[in-house]
């Protein structure tokens, strides 16, 4: 069994069929349940478990490629290090799910540095294809699915990572083991403030606050930790353009109408919330 397949060798312990919810096991190049529902494992090492076509989003392959470059430059390492510290300090965490993982930077880094069992999914097939190609260790279980119906078994995860992504807290509760954790990362009002200042007149929500997101988190979970992490990163001209193309903040902004030449640094700031049910 090659490495792209072997990462799914224990699938029957964790995965359930998105159609009938029965266990799935690896047979040949596919995951198959006892009712015969079959999902092929891509030659890149991921499986598409989405039952319907993905809705169109603002995230193109180009935006994911730019995001990969920005993350590999280390611009969000302040977030990564906080998460790794928590996982490393919590030995009860073995199985981790990265929700809305995008091109997979956090999942790859966490697997490499903590040796935990990592599952990661996104709604975008293009994002997961990039993620699996970049996974040189072929260790993360990548899959495409919908946030509202994640094809993993009840109580199978010890920690769910929700990094700058939407959340489905009832589904998270189903997936978590007793005493499992949700790690939620959300931008603060200071995050990318240099960009916000330049395009404030064009933003739908110029006076951003994350408090409503925090309140929604606390509606479902008991917060055991809330910490703000912050860094100022310097930008080369290449990095500046990658960031402008990548950030969702500018998806509805005419970028060509802004003089970006004076954008030489950025504030990266996020609240890291850790909660339990």
33 is in an annotated binding site: yes
Establish whether 168 is an annotated binding residue: no
- 20 labelled ligand-binding: yes
Strand order in the sheet with 46-48: 46-48, 141-144, 117-122, 95-99, 157-163, 176-187, 265-276, 222-234
**Is 104 assigned a ligand-binding role in the annotation?**
yes
Identify whether the C-beta of residue 144 lies closer than 8 Å to the C-beta of residue 82: no
**CA 77/CA 106 separation, integer angstroms:** 10
End-to-end, the C-alpha distance of the chain in Å comes to 39
Q: Which of 46, 49, 54, 52 is nearest to 17 (CA)?
A: 49
For residue 237, give every residue at least 6 positions away whose Cβ sits within 8 Å of its Cβ, in sequence order, or none: none
103 is in an annotated binding site: yes
37 among annotated binding-site residues: yes
The answer on whether 74 is annotated among ligand-binding residues is no
Does 202 show up as a binding residue in the annotation? no
Q: Which residue positions form the known binding site for S-adenosyl-L-methionine?
A: 76, 103-104, 191
Q: Which residue positions form the known binding site?
A: 17, 20, 33, 37, 76, 103-104, 191
Q: Which residue positions form the known binding site for Zn(2+)?
A: 17, 20, 33, 37
């Amino acid at each position: 069994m090659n490495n792209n397949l072997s990462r799914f060798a224990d699938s029957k312990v964790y995965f359930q069929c998105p159609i009938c919810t029965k266990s799935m096991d690896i047979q040949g190049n596919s995951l198959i349940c006892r009712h015969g529902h079959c999902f092929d494992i891509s030659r890149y090492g991921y499986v598409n478990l989405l039952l319907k076509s993905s809705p169109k989003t603002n995230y193109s392959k180009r935006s994911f490629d730019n995001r990969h470059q920005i993350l590999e430059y280390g611009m969000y390492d302040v977030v990564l290090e906080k998460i790794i510290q928590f996982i490393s300090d919590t030995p009860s965490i073995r199985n981790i799910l990265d929700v809305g993982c995008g091109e997979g930077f956090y999942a790859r880094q966490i697997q490499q540095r903590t040796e935990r069992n990592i599952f990661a999914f996104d709604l975008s097939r293009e994002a997961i294809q990039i993620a699996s190609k970049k996974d040189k260790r072929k260790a993360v279980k990548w899959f495409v699915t919908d946030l509202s119906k994640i094809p993993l078994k009840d109580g199978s995860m010890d920690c769910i990572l929700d990094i700058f992504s939407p959340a489905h807290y009832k589904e998270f509760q189903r997936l978590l083991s007793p005493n499992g954790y949700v790690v939620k990362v959300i931008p603060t009002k200071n995050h990318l403030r240099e960009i916000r200042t330049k395009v404030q007149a064009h933003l739908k929500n110029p006076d951003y606050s994350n408090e409503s997101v925090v309140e929604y988190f606390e509606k479902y979970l008991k917060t055991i930790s809330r910490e703000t992490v912050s860094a100022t990163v310097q930008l080369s001209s290449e990095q500046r353009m990658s960031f402008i193309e990548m950030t969702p903040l500018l998806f509805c902004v005419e970028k060509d109408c802004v003089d970006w030449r004076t954008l030489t640094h950025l504030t990266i700031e996020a609240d890291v919330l850790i909660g339990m049910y």
